[in-house]
Amino acid sequence: MKKPSAAPVLSVHRAQKRFGAIEALKDVSLEIFKGEVLALLGDNGAGKSTLVKCISGLHALDGGEITIDGKRAALSSPAAARRAGIETVYQDLALFDNLTPAQNFYCGREIAYPSWLPQALRFLDRQTMDREAAAVIERLKVKLPKFDAPVALMSGGQRQAIAVARATVFARKVVILDEPTAALGVRESRKVLDLILQLKAEGNAVILITHNMEQVVELADRAIVLRQGRKVGELKPSRSNQQKLVSMIVGAEA
């Protein structure tokens, strides 16, 4: 019998990725477990974004493999990754300005009927989608000015909260957050950090990319440091080794 907490939800084994002459990922391996926040650290160009894009199906690996629950996963497209239970909140959000929060939530996976028609020709079940999206927004205590207004009218923090909330609805295994607080003020950041803790509490594995060491120390159970496409360190972040983490990132450790 397999104990659920003992086996990693997602594991990347010896990942390789090249862009022409540039080796973006060299033999990077990582594992992440249920209910854990893993911080992915590194300077610009260290390979964090490339790694994340491979996991979320935007890039294909040149070598190595990704397994989900111990089974090899073919993450050939963003849709395939999402079907496998991996949700990604991109830095540029990927929200549709012209749609409402509920419409954004279900975009590309609309609840619709009847099921014998092809998806494109089904009728939208707007009530169910509105109700469930509203329930999630409520549960996550996200304050929105108006629920039926296009997200174009909302602030950066509200939009980020919607994007994270969307991931929380659909995430079944792994949530990847790429610098979720980069464009936010203090109060709005706090909201998003609370959402991340909630994701973790609900049993998701969370991969967090950030440059903010305070957030790493506060949220992350583990941190992995990449430099020039290689994994150069892995440790449990705390106040006392914060400085060590920084020197690992910039490559100045003894």
What are the start-end ranges of the E strands in 42-169? 63-68, 71-72, 86-89, 112-113, 123-124
Which 172-191 positions form the footprint of another protein (CB under 8 A)? 185, 187-188
Is residue 60 a contact residue for another protein (CB under 8 A)? no
**C-alpha dihedral sign at 249, 250, 251, 252:** negative
Using CB atoms within 10 Å of the CB of residue 145, give its burial: 0 to 12 exposed, 13 to 18 middle, 19+ buried: exposed
From 7, 58, 134, 217, residue interacting with another protein (rule: CB under 8 A): 58
Size of the site for another protein (CB under 8 A): 36
From 49, 50, 158, 215, residue interacting with another protein (rule: CB under 8 A): 158
Q: Rounded CA gap, 30 and 13, in Å? A: 7
**Sheet strands side by side (includes 86-89):** 86-89, 174-178, 205-209, 37-41, 222-227, 230-235
Is residue 64 a contact residue for another protein (CB under 8 A)? no
Is residue 97 a contact residue for another protein (CB under 8 A)? yes
Contact characters 2-41, another protein, x per CB under 8 A: ----------------------------------------
Is residue 78 a contact residue for another protein (CB under 8 A)? yes
CB 96, min distance to another protein, A: 4
Is residue 77 a contact residue for another protein (CB under 8 A)? yes
What are the start-end ranges of the E strands in 50-156? 63-68, 71-72, 86-89, 112-113, 123-124
From 90, 213, 245, 248, residue interacting with another protein (rule: CB under 8 A): 90
From 60, 79, 135, 235, residue interacting with another protein (rule: CB under 8 A): 79
Q: Rounded CA gap, 197 and 31, in Å? A: 19
Is residue 74 a contact residue for another protein (CB under 8 A)? no
CB 207, min distance to another protein, A: 17
**Sheet strands side by side (includes 22-32):** 22-32, 10-19, 63-68, 71-72
Distance of CA 162 to the CA centre of its chain: 13
Binding site for another protein (CB under 8 A): 58, 77-79, 82, 90, 94-99, 103, 107-110, 112, 119-124, 126, 145, 152-158, 185, 187-188
